[in-house]
Amino acid sequence: MTVLMLAFWALVVGGVVALFRNRRPAGPDSGTTPGRSAENVLDERFARGEIDEQEYHARRAVLHSTQRR
């Protein structure tokens, strides 16, 4: 009887651990999906017309200056 109870709780704990193990964020900054860099997002915003050319170049320059560090 004790062995069955221990086996039951081991399965419950293992199931909970397995559920939460798969809920990790997608990327290291957890705000992006895999394969989408900040530069890609910036390019997409410019292509959609959300930002103008001057803002695009200014933000791109900032991205390139912070990537070198």
Per-residue pLDDT reduced to its tens digit, 3-15: 999 999 999 999 8
Q: Which amino acid is at 31?
A: G
Rg (CA), the chain: 23
The residues, any chain, with a CB within 8 Å of residue 32's CB and separated by 6 or more, are: 26, 38, 41
Neighbours of 45 (CB within 10 A): 14
Q: What is the pLDDT of residues 27-48, one digit of tens each?
A: 555 554 566 788 999 999 999 9
- Whole-number Å distance between alpha carbons of 69 and 63: 11
